[in-house]
Amino acid sequence: MLAELLEALRVRPRTRNELLLLLQASPGQLEAALFQLSRGGYVDRAIPEQGSCHSGCGHCSVKNFCPGESAEETWRLTDKALSRVAPPA
Partner 1 sequence: MTPVLRVATVGNPNVGKSSLINAIAGSNLSVGNWPGTTVDRLSISFELDQVHVEWVDLPGTYSLAGATSEESITRRELLTSPPDVVVNVIDAGNLERNLGLTLELSELGLPMVVVLNLVDEARAHGIEVDASKLSDCLGVEAIETVASSGQGCAEVKAALLRASRGRALVEYPEYFQAAVRQLDEPNRWRAVTLLSEDVPGLDSHEQAQRLRRQLELVQDPFLSVAEARLKMARHLTCDVEVRIDRGVSRTEKIDRLLLHPLLGLPLFLVGMLEVFRFTYEFSAPWIGFLDVVKGVLSSWVTSWGLAPLAQSFLISGVIGGAGTVAAFSPVLFLLYLAMAFLEASGLLARTTFLFDQVMKWVGLPGRSLIPLLLGFGCNVPAIYSTRILPNLGDRLRVALAIPFMACSARLTVFVLFAAIFFPKTAPYVVLGLYLLGLLLGLLTALLMRRFVPQDSDRTGIMEMPPYRFPSWRAVFRQAWLRTYSFLRDAAGPILGAVLLVWFLHQVPAGKPENSLYAGVSRALTVPLAPLGIHDWRLAGALMPGFIAKEVVVGTLGVSFLGEEPVAAGGLGEGLGQLATGFGVALQETVLAVPKLFGVPSAELPPDESPNGLSAAIGRACDSAGALAYLVFLLLYTPCVATVAAVRSEFGNGWAIFSVIWQLSVAWLAGWIAYQVMA
Rule CB under 8 A: which residues touch partner 1? Answer: 1-3, 6, 26, 28-29, 31-42, 44-45, 47, 64-71, 84
Minimum distance, C-beta of residue 18 to partner 1, in the bound complex (Å) = 16
Which residues neighbour 49 within 8 Å (Cβ) at sequence distance 6 or greater? none
DSSP state of 75: E
Q: In this structure, how many other beta carbons lie within 10 angstroms of the beta carbon of residue 75?
A: 21
Which of residues 12 and 41 has its CB atom nearest to partner 1 in the complex? Answer: 41
3-state secondary structure at position 82:
helix
Which of residues 12 and 26 has its CB atom nearest to partner 1 in the complex? Answer: 26
Minimum distance, C-beta of residue 40 to partner 1, in the bound complex (Å) = 5
